[in-house]
Amino acid sequence: MAAELTIGEFSRISRLSVKTLRHYHEWGVLEPAAVDPHSGYRYYATEQVPTAQTIRRFRDLEMPIEQVKAVLAAPDPASREAFIAAHLERMEQQLARTQEAVASLRGLLEGRGLTPQITYVEIPPQTALAITATIDRDGIEDWWRGAFAELYAAKATVAGPPSGFYAHELFEDEAGEATVYLPVDPLTEDPRATILPSRRLATLRHDGPHTDLDLAYGALGTHVAERGVGAPGPVHERYVVSVLDDAAPADWVTEIGWPIAGDP
Amino acid sequence: MAAELTIGEFSRISRLSVKTLRHYHEWGVLEPAAVDPHSGYRYYATEQVPTAQTIRRFRDLEMPIEQVKAVLAAPDPASREAFIAAHLERMEQQLARTQEAVASLRGLLEGRGLTPQITYVEIPPQTALAITATIDRDGIEDWWRGAFAELYAAKATVAGPPSGFYAHELFEDEAGEATVYLPVDPLTEDPRATILPSRRLATLRHDGPHTDLDLAYGALGTHVAERGVGAPGPVHERYVVSVLDDAAPADWVTEIGWPIAGDP
DNA sequence: TTGCTCCTCACGTCACGTGAGGTGGC
DNA sequence: TTGCTCCTCACGTCACGTGAGGTGGC
């Protein structure tokens, strides 16, 4: 009972444009039931309509084509479900970020100016378990979580909040070196323990989600630049309260530090 | 007190990448405070940091650059607010569509199969107020609302639900001819009244949001194709319950019609 | 002076849409 | 046979990112 349909007919029934159907053929997401080897004409079967509708919905959800292909190729319903669940979770995260951005934008436009409480500190040499990597800016969150999971898995006596430092290139060029560390008891026997050198920093405490961290960096960087006290080197972050404590973003407390030289 | 910053320094403070800053200069969204005419070096002022942060937030909300430029150029806070409100509304609409797509996808994957109740009808010639235009598929919704607003503003006696017909090219090529109409009393004196010719259609009733209209078209088109009774001509839609009645999408009722030839 | 920073092209990305120019099918 | 449908390039979109190759500034 399967009717062979030309691309135009299948387009009308599936509501995917002819261009889109050709594109899906090229990418192997939706192959025509038959292709005339002489004319190149594509022929579709009515049985392919539900597949087309499914693809359309995944694309409405902005799932990348390659992934749609993978989901459709998934043999069992369970792994399909896993794909979809993962995608929905990403979408929820994005929604949360959007809501944060809206709130933050309102604050900015209302000129909700924080008077930054900037403190100069000298951090003494510290014994710490550290992980360093060269990463991409968009891969940073996954890497960050993984690295701290690894550090907390070590059985050393923790001697301070989780922290990290990040090369400027990471923000200027979208990729650069990052280090996260956990201060530990100097007497630890973990062979991975290193001693971090001392640093002089201008620091600022930031309350709230990390979407707004740029505001803190703006205030701190402006302060340092206008006084001409900046020094080369990575910026520092101390995660006083964070996801690592299972806290909500609104409750996070982060201390950021900008390297300085000279006497303030 | 305004420090002159190189692009790299400004990038560190604003957390926008150097490439992005150059891009924003090129597009005129964020012009450097000064550009060295000899070397081409860009110099920024610390006063530009809040602007950079604002741009970043608008971009996080996926506002197109051109529009960000327009918002920033808006002279008074009121028109700024209007821009933002309009953008937020679009985002909410998209969120609603996303939620519909998720629900619809789950239904599809669970194989929630509707047994389509297809009816063959012959619509007699009708007197109607009609508006025809050649439109883009993504401009269709705005046009549709505007056209019906215009039709309802006429003071003729309405004799049936609002309806429309749509050339296949609109779906195959993303652009084509569309007509919406309001059946009216044949004795109307409105000079714009026309008589629509009779049509033979296979029809199917669809309940719910228009995101799912493609499912109905899939069922109807498959039915027509498998029986080989299709005829050329546009598809028809009757909006029995719709936005025009201030109903929620879940309560909408739409009848779709596919042109047929021959005796079923 | 050296090495770092900055510069301008030119091209890639992603999922198609937009023509141009040409051929096949009924 | 005519006109409609289908075909394959090649290029455009949007907001940047990715090099390449070269110059300026301290």
Nearest to B5 among A61, A225, A235 (CB): A225
Q: How far is B218 from chain A (nearest CA, A)?
A: 5
pLDDT for A17 beyond 70? yes
- Per DSSP (E only), the strands in chain A are 4-6, 34-35, 42-45, 119-123, 126-136, 163-166, 175-183, 193-196, 199-207, 235-241, 253-259
pLDDT for B195 beyond 50? yes
Number of Cβ pairs closer than 8 Å across A and B?
150
CB A182 within 7 Å, strand D: no
Confidence of residue B114 (pLDDT cuts 50, 70, 90): low
- Residue B228 phi/psi, 5° resolution? 60, 35
User: How confident is the model at residue A188, as a pLDDT?
Assistant: 86
User: How confident is the model at residue A176, as a pLDDT?
Assistant: 92
> How many residues belong to chain B?
264
Distance CA B53, CA B75 (A): 19
Residue % of chain A over a pLDDT of 90 = 71
In this predicted model, what pLDDT tens digit does every residue of B145-155 receive, in sequence order? Answer: 999 999 999 88
In this predicted model, what pLDDT tens digit does every residue of A215-257 receive, in sequence order? Answer: 999 999 999 999 999 999 999 999 999 999 999 999 999 999 9
Decide: B194 and B174 in contact? Cβ < 8 Å.
no
Which nt sits closest to A137, CA to C1'?
Answer: D17
Residue A21 CB partners (closer than 8 Å, separation 6+): A7, A10, A11, A14, A30, A42, A44
User: How confident is the model at residue A1, as a pLDDT?
Assistant: 46
- Per DSSP (E only), the strands in A22-108 are 34-35, 42-45
Distance CA A134, CA A258 (A): 20
In this structure, which amino acid lies at residue B208? G
**B6/C2 CA-to-C1' distance in Å:** 21
Q: Is A23 on the interface with B (CB under 8 A)?
A: no
pLDDT for B263 beyond 60? no
User: Which A-chain residues 192-251 have CB contacts (< 8 A) with chain B?
Assistant: 211, 213-215, 217-218, 221-222, 225-226, 228, 230, 235
In this predicted model, what pLDDT tens digit does every residue of B117-134 receive, in sequence order? Answer: 999 999 999 999 999 999
Q: Rounded mean pLDDT of A170-177?
A: 92
- Answer yes or no: do B102 and A95 touch at CB < 8 A: no
In this predicted model, what pLDDT tens digit does every residue of A126-158 receive, in sequence order? Answer: 999 999 999 999 889 999 999 999 999 988 899
In this predicted model, what pLDDT tens digit does every residue of B65-82 receive, in sequence order? Answer: 999 999 898 878 787 788
Decide: A29 and A56 in contact? Cβ < 8 Å.
no
User: How confident is the model at residue A92, as a pLDDT?
Assistant: 78
**B203/C21 CA-to-C1' distance in Å:** 40
Strand, helix or coil for residue B176: strand
In this predicted model, what pLDDT tens digit does every residue of B33-55 receive, in sequence order? Answer: 999 999 999 999 999 999 999 99
In this predicted model, what pLDDT tens digit does every residue of A42-87 receive, in sequence order? Answer: 999 999 999 999 999 999 888 999 999 999 988 787 877 888 788 8
User: How confident is the model at residue B237, as a pLDDT?
Assistant: 97
- DSSP letters, B143-162, are HHHHHHHHHHHS---B-S--
**What pTM, to 2 d.p., does this model score?**
0.86
Distance CA B212, CA A60 (A): 12
Nearest to B53 among A18, A49, A215 (CB): A215
Q: Which strands make up the sheet holding A34-35, listed edge to edge?
A: A4-6, A42-45, A34-35
Q: Rounded mean pLDDT of B223-237?
A: 93
pLDDT for B2 beyond 60? no
User: CA nearest B159: which of B179, B180, B178, B187?
Assistant: B187
User: Which B-chain residues 105-144 have CB contacts (< 8 A) with chain A?
Assistant: 105, 108-109
pLDDT for B1 beyond 50? no
Confidence of residue B113 (pLDDT cuts 50, 70, 90): low
